[in-house]
């Protein structure tokens, strides 16, 4: 039946025509649905392919990172072993050097302390002898008569004074620190010289004018005593002048010389009654010494020489300590370089840990299927469906870096 339904623009539409139009519309809708379904399948296939490519790239990157990590771990282990070996060797060398230096310093200090204690003990003994000598000064004064008889002859008196002075010097000084009848640059030969640390000898004269003392003891009247005292002043002054002129050479000898008085009683008498002579001798840089004072001076000079040797030993110890400080400085530099190597290793490990964290985050995204970069493609598909524009051959989207 082809009944008339309505008229459009003078065209009569019947039932058959309407059915044909509806069938065409249905066919068009069916074709649109088929095209949309095909497009959706292609998009899913492209997405799956992109995910497979991304998974392969991630697996390759993971394998590369694991390989780099293994290489870095091997290098760190090898470097740690090498550094441990070098550190152990360095510690052993430093310990051996320190033990050697400590042992030498300890032995030197022990010897120095022992020598110092021996010197102090000997000095105490000598001071005790000097105290006893001063206590016996009164008794020695009584023995002046006997001494005068012994020293009546000038030659025997000179030999006695020389022998006593030599005995005192030999008893208190090492054999290489003194000399008897040493010749100076002027040709003069003092009775004894003692070589002090500065290289200049200290001259000792053992010849003393005892005739004036003898005349003073023999004087009975005041006039004789006055004349003998004047003679004693002249003789001692002349002898002091001779010593000063002969044995005080600037730059060669010491600035002071010793005049040995072989009798304690004579020395005490000169100090008690002729102080002006002592002062003149001091001004001429000549010091009168008795046997006890000469022994004290010898002990002092011996201590000075020992102190000089101790200073030389201290210089050697200081030199060794400076060498040790140089070794410690080099050790500090090497340890600093070793620390910089450790810092570089720590930085490499930190970078590796950062890469591992990034890999972990990407793995979590893969596990959670979080592909936020695919959102624009989905939006394009939805907009295409809404616009009812069918694209049978879509252009595939290029993969971005990192996808």
The alpha carbon torsion through 242, 243, 249, 255 (nearest 10 deg) reads: -140
Alpha helices in 289-369 (DSSP H): 291-367
pLDDT at site 3: 59
The tokens describing 334, both together, are 């090497």
pLDDT at site 402: 40
Of 35-44, 332-341, 368-377, which range is least confident? Answer: 368-377
- Which of 176-181's residues contact partners 24+ apart within 8 Å by CB, and which partners? 177/301, 177/302, 177/305
Digit-coded pLDDT (tens) for 8-21: 666 666 777 777 77
Residue 35 pLDDT more than 60?
yes
* CATH of the structural domain 136-289, one choice from 3.40.1350, 3.40.50, 3.90.350, 3.30.70: 3.40.1350
Digit-coded pLDDT (tens) for 356-391: 888 888 778 777 766 555 444 444 444 444 443 434
Residue 297 pLDDT more than 70?
yes
pLDDT at site 301: 86
- In this structure, are residues 224 and 214 in contact, taking their beta carbons and an 8 Å threshold? no
Digit-coded pLDDT (tens) for 118-143: 888 888 888 888 878 777 777 766 66
The whole model's pTM is what?
A: 0.42
The alpha carbon torsion through 340, 342, 343, 348 (nearest 10 deg) reads: 130
pLDDT at site 152: 52
């Amino acid at each position: 039946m082809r009944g008339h339904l309505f008229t459009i623009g003078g065209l009569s539409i019947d039932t058959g025509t309407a059915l044909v139009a509806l069938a065409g519309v249905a066919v068009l809708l069916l074709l649109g649905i088929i095209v949309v379904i095909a497009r959706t399948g292609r998009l899913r296939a492209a997405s799956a392919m992109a995910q497979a490519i991304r998974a392969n790239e991630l697996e390759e990157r993971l394998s590369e990172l694991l390989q780099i990590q293994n290489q870095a771990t091997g290098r760190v282990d090898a470097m740690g072993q090498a550094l441990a070996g070098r550190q152990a060797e360095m510690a052993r060398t430093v310990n051996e050097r320190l033990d050697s230096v400590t042992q030498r310093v300890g032995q030197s200090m022990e010897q120095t302390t022992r020598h110092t204690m021996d010197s102090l003990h000997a000095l105490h003994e000598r001071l005790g002898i000097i105290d006893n000598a001063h206590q016996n000064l009164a008794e020695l004064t009584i023995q002046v008569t006997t001494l005068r008889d012994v020293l009546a002859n000038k030659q025997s008196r000179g030999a006695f004074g020389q022998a006593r002075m030599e005995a005192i010097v030999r008893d208190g000084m090492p054999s290489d620190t003194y000399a008897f009848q040493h010749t100076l640059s002027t040709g003069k030969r003092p009775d004894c010289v003692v070589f002090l640390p500065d290289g200049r000898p200290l001259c000792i004269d053992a010849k003393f004018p005892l005739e004036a003392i003898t005349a003073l003891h023999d004087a009975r009247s005041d006039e004789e005593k006055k004349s003998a005292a004047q003679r004693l002043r002249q003789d001692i002054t002349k002898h002091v002048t001779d010593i000063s002129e002969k044995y005080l050479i600037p730059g060669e000898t010491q600035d002071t010389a010793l005049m040995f008085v072989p009798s304690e009683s004579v020395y005490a008498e000169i100090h008690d009654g002729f102080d002006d002579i002592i002062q003149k001798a001091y001004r001429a840089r000549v010091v009168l010494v008795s046997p006890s004072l000469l022994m004290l001076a010898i002990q002092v000079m011996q201590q000075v020489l020992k102190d000089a040797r101790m200073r030389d030993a201290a210089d050697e110890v200081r030199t060794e300590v400076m060498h040790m400080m140089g070794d410690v400085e080099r050790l500090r530099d090497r340890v600093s370089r070793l620390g910089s190597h450790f810092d570089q290793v720590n930085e490499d490990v930190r970078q590796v840990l950062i890469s591992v964290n990034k890999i972990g985050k990407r793995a979590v995204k893969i596990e959670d299927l979080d592909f936020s970069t695919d959102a624009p493609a989905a939006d394009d598909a939805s907009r295409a469906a809404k616009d009812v524009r069918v694209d049978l051959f879509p252009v595939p989207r290029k993969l971005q870096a990192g996808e």
